[in-house]
Amino acid sequence: MNKKYRLLTAMLLMLVLTMTASMLTAFAEPAAQGTVATADEAIQAEAPAADTAAETEEAAEEDPYDLDLGAAMRSIAQSTGLANGDWRQYVMICISCVLLYLAIVKKFEPLLLLPIAFGMLLANLPLAGMMNGESYREFPLEQAAEALKYATEKQTTAYVALNALGEQVYQVQSSNGGLLYYLYKGVKLGIYPPLIFMGVGAMTDFGPLIANPKSLLLGAAAQLGIFITFIGAILLDFTPNEASAIGIIGGADGPTAIYVTTQLAPHLLAPIAVAAYSYMALVPVIQPPIMRALTTKKERMIVMEQLRPVSRAELVIFPVVVTVVVSLLLPDAAPLVGMLMLGNLMRTSGVVDRISKTAQNELINIVTIFLGLTVGATTNGATFLSPQTLYIIVLGVIAFMGGTAGGVLLGKLMCKLSGGKINPLIGSAGVSAVPMAARVSQVVGQKENPGNFLLMHAMGPNVAGVIGSAVAAGVFLSLFK
């Protein structure tokens, strides 16, 4: 431990010395200029002395070991991130540290919030350039030989393209992009979210939904927040594409929000992703007050009958039927719904246990790391710190509250129509935060009646919400893509 402290102290001392040297050098510049002026006067007065000084300067220039320590230290200081950082970058670094605290200490959705926060930190480090794209050198068309020579040196090819002025030039890649720039391709091309859905499908049991098909209606009702928020965003002068991306936050499904945003409003990806995953983590905080406000104590105490057993044939046929029906009605939802049902089919078929376990563990974990890092890396201070971000955060809360209220209100209606056999609390699980929303229904119900077990009943609307959010995404994509 003492060795680590000594090493840290040495590094801090070196940094302080570097900065001190650069400051002293900067203050010394005026004095140096004055000295030069005095020397010029002496040169005019005494020519022999000037000749001697010139010879000395030539000798100094010829000495390869002559080093201007002050200039070197000043150059080092000017090349550090501290000297080149923007205040917005430092604000984003502070925000990333807050998110890391929430993920590590408070355990708010840590599997995604932690990589998102660290990606935010990496992307805002001055001069790190981890999200920078490739850089190119341009040559006029008449300099084809020079372009070919440079391309050969860089071991790449020269091709004709239009420059910023609309002129045809030869372009040769001069340097590669940053690490996160290439990992972000999986988000930009819509690869990561469907892969996440496949893993989610492999971990999801659709048995409660099959046993109680009426819960599909609760999952649909919980998407009310999406469309309420869409209207609110339009009223705040967001474009339909932007409003669609913001509204999908109400589905409480991070991958779906990311998928829709990359297709419709990629410039809003950072605030939407951060808001979506932050509010998913806050489901146990946001939902209970709404659930208690919209239900009576008697309704919260309702004990529901045990669900019927579901056959293996039903479990196998269900993902196939859902894929066909949804894809025929909404082709744009096919990537999400199709991969979700593929993962579930691998689970229920029982013949591909190895790849099912891979989808549930290694694959989804790896993709989650890449997705979180790259989404966090899009949080550039210049675009993230804007009034739009504040609007998105407020609209995200409205979306969650609207979704919860929609599910609970339909649950109350179904309770009345069924003669008090359905506990309206399970309607709140219609948002697709699996299985957190179902657990919230269970906790709130058990507080009123310790003998009440709503978890499996709430899982029906919960998994229906996953399908519902993907369908809502397909609707927006078909309308505005």
pLDDT at 178 over 60: yes
**pLDDT (0 to 100) of residue 72:** 73
Token output for 159 = 């091709």
**pLDDT (0 to 100) of residue 65:** 53
Residue 309 DSSP class: P
Range 393-414 average pLDDT:
93
- CA dihedral (156, 161, 165, 167) in degrees, to 10, reads 120
pTM of the predicted model as reported, rounded to 2 decimal places: 0.78
Partnered with residue 135 across adjacent β-strands are: 175
Same-domain pairing of 400 and 382: yes
Q: Are 291 and 444 in contact (CB under 8 A)?
A: yes
pLDDT at 44 over 80: no
Give the span between the Cα atoms of 171 and 206, in whole angstroms.
53
Give the span between the Cα atoms of 181 and 161, in whole angstroms.
22
Range 140-169 average pLDDT:
89
Same-domain pairing of 447 and 373: yes
**pLDDT (0 to 100) of residue 300:** 93
The rounded mean pLDDT for the chain is: 84
Q: Is cis: bond before 435, omega within 30 of 0?
A: yes
pLDDT at 191 over 60: yes
How sure is the predictor about 257, in pLDDT bands with cuts at 50, 70 and 90?
A: very high
Same-domain pairing of 245 and 154: no
How sure is the predictor about 26, in pLDDT bands with cuts at 50, 70 and 90?
A: very low
Q: Are 218 and 410 in contact (CB under 8 A)?
A: yes
Domain end call among 46, 66, 84: 84
Give the span between the Cα atoms of 308 and 454, in whole angstroms.
14
Same-domain pairing of 23 and 166: no
In-domain check, residue 243: yes
Instruction: Please give the single-letter amino acid code of residue 437.
Output: A
Token output for 236 = 């705040």
In-domain check, residue 75: yes
**pLDDT (0 to 100) of residue 129:** 85
| pLDDT tens per residue across span 269-327 | 889 988 888 788 788 889 999 999 999 999 999 999 889 999 999 999 999 999 999 99
Of residues 34 and 168, more confidently modeled:
168
Same-domain pairing of 147 and 22: no
Token output for 411 = 């649950």
Q: Closest by alpha carbon to 323, among 337, 343, 336, 344? A: 337
Token output for 123 = 């992307």
In-domain check, residue 227: yes
How sure is the predictor about 467, in pLDDT bands with cuts at 50, 70 and 90?
A: very high
In-domain check, residue 129: no
pLDDT at 67 over 70: no
Give the span between the Cα atoms of 279 and 443, in whole angstroms.
19
Q: Where are the alpha helices (DSSP H) in 250-331?
A: 254-264, 269-281, 283-294, 297-300, 312-329
Same-domain pairing of 362 and 249: yes
Cα radius of gyration rounded to whole Å, the chain? 31
Q: Which residues contact 409 (CB under 8 A, 6 or more apart)?
A: 221, 294, 424, 427
In-domain check, residue 99: no
Q: Which residues contact 383 (CB under 8 A, 6 or more apart)?
A: 267, 270
Same-domain pairing of 171 and 208: no
Same-domain pairing of 305 and 204: yes
Partnered with residue 175 across adjacent β-strands are: 135
Q: Specify the residue for token string 């048995």.
A: 207
**pLDDT (0 to 100) of residue 9:** 46
Give the span between the Cα atoms of 369 and 347, in whole angstroms.
23
In-domain check, residue 310: yes
Q: Are 118 and 100 in contact (CB under 8 A)?
A: yes
| pLDDT tens per residue across span 426-463 | 999 998 888 889 999 999 999 998 988 999 999 999 99
In-domain check, residue 395: yes
Same-domain pairing of 342 and 474: yes
How sure is the predictor about 32, in pLDDT bands with cuts at 50, 70 and 90?
A: very low
Residue 138: phi, psi to the nearest 5?
A: -105, 145
Q: In the chain, count H helices and then E strands.
A: 26, 3
Q: Are 131 and 377 in contact (CB under 8 A)?
A: yes
Domain end call among 117, 151, 176: 176
Share of the chain above pLDDT 90, in %: 57
| pLDDT tens per residue across span 307-318 | 999 999 999 999
pLDDT at 58 over 50: no
In-domain check, residue 90: no
Same-domain pairing of 450 and 387: yes
Domain end call among 42, 58, 84: 84
Same-domain pairing of 37 and 142: no
Q: Closest by alpha carbon to 428, among 396, 397, 454? A: 454
Instruction: Please give the single-letter amino acid code of residue 390.
Output: L
Same-domain pairing of 279 and 428: yes
**Reduced to 3 states, what is the DSSP secondary structure of residue 77?**
helix
Give the span between the Cα atoms of 322 and 338, in whole angstroms.
9
Token output for 239 = 């474009």
Domain limits for position 152: 135-176
Please state the domain count of the chain: 3
Instruction: Please give the single-letter amino acid code of residue 458.
Output: A
Q: Closest by alpha carbon to 324, among 311, 310, 337, 343? A: 337
pLDDT at 253 over 90: no
Beta strand pairing call for 135-140 and 168-175? antiparallel
Partnered with residue 170 across adjacent β-strands are: 139, 160
